[in-house]
Amino acid sequence: MSQFPDIREFMALPRVNALRLSPDGTRLVSVVQSLNADGKSYGTALWEIPLDPEGEARRLTRSAKGEAGAEFAPDGGLLFVSRRPDETAKDGGGETAALWLLPERGEPVRLATRPGGIGGARAAGGTVVYTSDVLPGDAATEEERRKAREEAGVSAILHEGYPVRYWDHDLGPAQTRLFAGRAVREGLEDVRDLTPEPGGALDDHLSYDLTPDGETVVATWRVALPNGDVRWDLVAIGVADGSRRTLATSEGHDFTGPVRVSPDGRHVACLRERHGSEDTPFALDLWVIDLATGEGRAVAEEVFPGSVAWAPSSRELFFAADHRGRRPVFRVPLDGAVTRVTSDDGAYDELCPAPDGSVYALRGAVDSPPRPVRIAADGSVTTLPSPAPPLDLPGTVTEVTATAEDGTEIRGWLVVPADATAENPAPLLLWIHGGPVSSWNGWHWRWNPWIMAGHGYAVLMPDPCLSTGYGQDMLRRGWGDWGPVTHADLMAITDECLKRPEIDEQRTAAMGGSFGGYMANWIAGHTDRFRAIVTHASLWNLDQFAGTTDGANFWQREFGVLGSARYARLSPHRSLGEIRTPMLVIHGDKDYRVPIGEALRLWWDLQRSGVESKFLYFPDENHWVLKPGNAIAWYETVLAFLAQHVLGDEWSRPPSLG
């Protein structure tokens, strides 16, 4: 039996989110997310993954507050963060996330606490480094100052620079700092604040690593620039005295994570991002820097890596990067060329190279949630036991292609229900990915095509212009020209799929979130070929959006200063008068990437124009819909809206909405 027709059962499936390998290569640990007993939230726990394919995954931790941020210490102990209570401590703990150590044998021990909680840790050479959000000023008096602020009822934040928000949370008044201590049996000794006055340098995008001798932290560092712009440098911070030197800086470039120090301590790997402009898209290089000299160079150019990891030899790097609807694993020696390791349709992440030359990883795909695997040196892949069950899919997935107006090949994935035939064709849903610099190449819990296939729909997931994994030319085709070129690409591959006998060309809908929502809005104003359009977390009025999003400086690089002709030409709201298609608008109030004002304006514009529409509003969700109950309401509402307009059923209010 497929699990997908029942949305609630789907929401309860455990999700494998992270993977870590012990330094000696003998233990593999994963962070697994699962539904809590109340059914209203998700919790996390640490699981041991057997290296033997015939073994069985074993749960390591159990607490009501959950555990995350797993990292191995050199001695084989496992660091993690948790709000679990500490029965051995006077304060009892549990109010904020603390740093814990799970030894190879024995019970977890709380190592460190901070009034603002602890976000994660690294350990090497007897040193443990961790992050914590701290109010500006003396860290020793922070707890008192936090209490005074709370008792006075003060929630205000005074900003003196940009940015002020990030995705779904405010920046400030606390600032992220790095702390270091010496690990002993009872906890940490000689704890030092390495960054006592960081400003906002570590507040978002932070990635850091620790050299094997435990003497230096290498971290990304945000630098404020004139007129609200920012740049990210890479810095080396001395653990002994907090001294800081800049390893990498370049006008017009950001040095960003993942930051990875080589096992021999001689090099650090990171990403170097070339800033985009109104005429040129941004580009990413995999960058390696000599820690002694600061000299850096690209070892892989114009790639979009996710996971990056050093081989134990320190002579080569492994990385997973978008490539034609997949995310394969690649290998690059420091003195050689990039070669592809995996050859299947997988989307790989969480790479963990082992001493024997193999690589452990999480492998997902459009038709598979992430599962732990071992990749041999020859590229062969062995699936390991997982805490998550195997799934029986309600259909098939096929790779499809079409030719754009300029001759470019546009490819994508087409999911078709198992019972779709020429005699019983399935209605088609066009799903447009977000980003826009992104790709449909892995498993999606939030936008899962198999739920739709379980309800009889075929789902087309194309990679139009601006998609990653096709080289810089694919980005360049749509850079600063989002609507028209992307629209043409999407229509070309939709037309191609509608030629298939198992697809019903008369019953179609279009859906998208974020940039995909922008394109859904654009499509609504430029064609009436679809019976329904679902637009989630979407951009509607570009001039309004550009000054309220959390990353206005990034946006300005591509679209120029507010009020320029590009905003007017590419804003979907200017085609309001042409919209005839029923629309479902969805948005979360905590979305700072695409602020709620976009949905409120879109909803009012549709209402005042008499367009048949509905507005699904989440007061407590962000750019995504993360709470299980709300996710169920999302799927049920979308399916009810599609059933009404695509299938011709009467409107039925989703049961989850009461």
Q: What is the pLDDT of residues 134-166, one digit of tens each?
A: 999 888 899 999 999 999 999 999 999 999 999
- Structural domain harbouring 433: 395-648
Q: What is the pLDDT of residues 518-575, one digit of tens each?
A: 999 999 999 999 999 999 999 999 999 999 999 999 999 999 998 889 999 999 999 9
Q: What pairs with residue 361 in β-bridges?
A: 373
70 occurs within a structural domain: no
Q: How confident is the model at residue 87 (pLDDT cuts 50, 70, 90)?
A: confident
554 occurs within a structural domain: yes
> Taking residues 208-226, what's their average pLDDT?
97
Q: How far apart are CA 531 and CA 571, in angstroms?
A: 22
Q: What is the pLDDT of residues 252-311, one digit of tens each?
A: 999 999 999 999 999 999 999 999 999 999 999 999 999 999 999 999 999 999 899 999
What local confidence, expressed as pLDDT, does residue 118 receive? 97
The count of C-alpha atoms lying within 13 angstroms of the C-alpha of 561, restricted to the half-sphere facing its C-beta, is: 2
Q: What are phi and psi of 229, to 5 degrees?
A: -85, 165
Q: Are 100 and 109 in contact (CB under 8 A)?
A: yes
| CATH number of the domain within which 593 lies | 3.40.50.1820
644 occurs within a structural domain: yes
Asked if the model's pLDDT at residue 1 lies above 60, the reply is no
Q: How far apart are CA 485 and CA 463, in angstroms?
A: 12
- DSSP code, position 171: -
Q: What is the pLDDT of residues 241-252, one digit of tens each?
A: 999 999 999 999
Other Cβ atoms closer than 10 A to 563: 10
Q: What pTM, to 2 d.p., does this model score?
A: 0.96
Domain count, the chain: 1
Estimate the share of the chain in helix, then strand, then coil, as percent rounded to the nearest 5.
Answer: 20, 35, 45
Q: Which residues contact 577 (CB under 8 A, 6 or more apart)?
A: 609
Task: Name the residue among 626, 650, 629 with its Cα closest to residue 640.
Answer: 650
Q: How far apart are CA 488 and CA 472, in angstroms?
A: 19
Task: Name the residue among 248, 247, 256, 98 with its Cα closest to residue 179.
Answer: 98
Asked if the model's pLDDT at residue 606 lies above 90, the reply is yes
Q: How confident is the model at residue 235 (pLDDT cuts 50, 70, 90)?
A: very high
Angle between helices 515-524 and 482-497 (to 10 degrees): 80
Asked if the model's pLDDT at residue 84 lies above 50, the reply is yes
- Structure-model confidence comparison of residues 651 and 95, the more confident one: 651
Q: How far apart are CA 46 and CA 221, in angstroms?
A: 30
578 occurs within a structural domain: yes
3-state secondary structure of 576: helix
Averaged pLDDT of the chain:
95
Q: How far apart are CA 92 and CA 106, in angstroms?
A: 20
520 occurs within a structural domain: yes
553 occurs within a structural domain: yes
Asked if the model's pLDDT at residue 470 lies above 70, the reply is yes
> Taking residues 438-448, what's their average pLDDT?
96
The torsion angle over the Cα atoms of residues 341, 345, 348 and 353, rounded to 10 degrees, is -30
Q: How confident is the model at residue 5 (pLDDT cuts 50, 70, 90)?
A: low
508 occurs within a structural domain: yes
60 occurs within a structural domain: no
What local confidence, expressed as pLDDT, does residue 104 receive? 87
The count of C-alpha atoms lying within 13 angstroms of the C-alpha of 631, restricted to the half-sphere facing its C-beta, is: 24
Q: How many degrees, rounded to 5, is the angle at CA 491 between CA 485 and CA 493?
A: 105
What local confidence, expressed as pLDDT, does residue 2 receive? 47
Asked if the model's pLDDT at residue 88 lies above 80, the reply is no
Q: How many degrees, rounded to 5, is the angle at CA 402 between CA 347 and CA 444?
A: 30
CA distances from 27 to 30, 58, 390 (A): 10, 12, 23
